[in-house]
Structure 1
Amino acid sequence: MKIFNMSSQMNYVILIKDHILTESNYVDRRRNIKLLLTAEGLMFVIEDEELSFLDTMDGEEKVAYELFQQNNSKAKLLILNSIDKTIKDSVKDLSFVKDMLEELKKLYGRQNKHAHHQLVTLLHSTKMTPGISLIDHVMKLYNFFQELEAMEISFKLNYKTNVILYSLPQEIDKSFICNYNMNKIP
């Protein structure tokens, strides 16, 4: 267990140290913060409802509340350590991680829309260039789709297929599409 903890701590240090949230890298940091919370088993603190302490709680509810608060504090520290000092001031006083992430989204989420627009434009304007293999071209488009999906934008397989087929040159396009349609490749 100690080996896992040391290894995961080293990965966190790398994620945090080399990838501090600044005003210009919100999209990447948001993804990395979610990966970090997932690796630590803390995603539930942003997905579940916040628990409020009530005097009428029984023993089991109090334990659940304390566990939530403990995990929320741990997630909050991870996030605060992964953002630039100038940004920390805008979120450090918020009690819940969910609120911190919402505030960061309000402050820097517009970049997400801009990045989305740039990726979609790039995706639709990319054509296969001579000298590049078909698989390399398809992987390039696949990576664009992966980046968009990291922004929580999903596409149906049919749409992805059409974008890829549209990006092929006419010489490949005709024979490949004919073969594709005849074989009903999914």
Structure 2
Amino acid sequence: MVVMLTYNFSFAIDLMASFNPLAKILDDNKLTGPNYVDWRRNLILVLTAAKVYWILTTGEPELPGPDAPQAERDRKQKWLDDNELAKCYIIGSMSNVLQQQHVGMAVASDIMLNLKEMFGEHSRSARMIAIKGLVSTKMVEGTPVRDHVLKMMGFLNELDVLGAIMDAETHVDIVLSSLSSSFNSS
């Protein structure tokens, strides 16, 4: 039965790819473990395009009572539908072994939490490397500012994907402090 479910999830990704070309990214980059950070970034892109990323950040609504307004029942049904779609994208984009471990989980955000716990240590070391790159990068005199800022933005985006939390002001401060001395305002 598990083989059948695995096949159905793979079929679901192929079917979704025909509706959403971004799903091909997930089909071409299945989660195997060590590629968790890249896979997660691609998954977020696809779930955002499919308009179901909100499922990962919003808890399941309570089951509406029999006298609940229609809007409440509709909200619950939308959550259920979008959760199923997100689960199809998530599970369909995993290796067969990982599919078997997660196929019985009912909530997409629980699957993602479990994967983070399984592969999060890789994220920690990748985050440390990105932080080191970010704080040690200094603009070389004569280098175009645009190129330097794009490099710094790459580090900041990578840190964001890896779960580092920094506010926008800190981003700006880090980039400004990395500029060459010719940009010193004193």
TM-score (norm: length of structure 2):
0.75
Task: Look up the SS of the partner of 1:10 in the other structure.
Answer: coil
Contact 1:165–1:177 (8 Å) recurs in 2: no
User: Residue 55 of structure 2 corresponds to which residue in structure 1?
Assistant: 45
Percent of paired sites with the same residue: 26
Q: State which of 4, 21, 25 in structure 1 corresponds to 2:35.
A: 25
User: Residue 103 of structure 1 corresponds to which residue in structure 2?
Assistant: 114
Could you tell me how far apart the structure 2 residues matched to 1:128 and 1:44 are? Answer: 38
CA deviation after TM superposition for structure 1 residue 80, in Å? 1.0
Could you tell me how far apart the structure 2 residues matched to 1:157 and 1:75 are? Answer: 29
Task: Look up the SS of the partner of 2:60 in the other structure.
Answer: coil
CA deviation after TM superposition for structure 1 residue 160, in Å? 3.6
Q: How many residues align?
A: 170
Q: State which of 176, 180, 183 in structure 1 corresponds to 2:183.
A: 176
User: Residue 123 of structure 2 corresponds to which residue in structure 1?
Assistant: 112
Cα distance change, pair 73–6 in 1 and its aligned pair in 2 (3 A): closer
Moved more, 45-54 or 29-38: 45-54
CA deviation after TM superposition for structure 1 residue 143, in Å? 1.4
CA displacement 1:113-162 (0-9 Å, x = unmatched): 11110100111222334774333222211211122123343434554444
Could you tell me how far apart the structure 2 residues matched to 1:151 and 1:110 are? Answer: 11
| Structure 2 counterparts to residues 4-153 of structure 1, below 5 A | 9-12=20-23, 14-51=24-61, 53=63, 56=66, 58=68, 60=70, 61-129=72-140, 132-153=143-164
CA deviation after TM superposition for structure 1 residue 59, in Å? 7.3
Q: Which runs of 5+ in 2 are unaligned?
A: 1-15
Q: Which runs of 5+ in 1 are unaligned?
A: 182-186
Contact 1:37–1:43 (8 Å) recurs in 2: yes
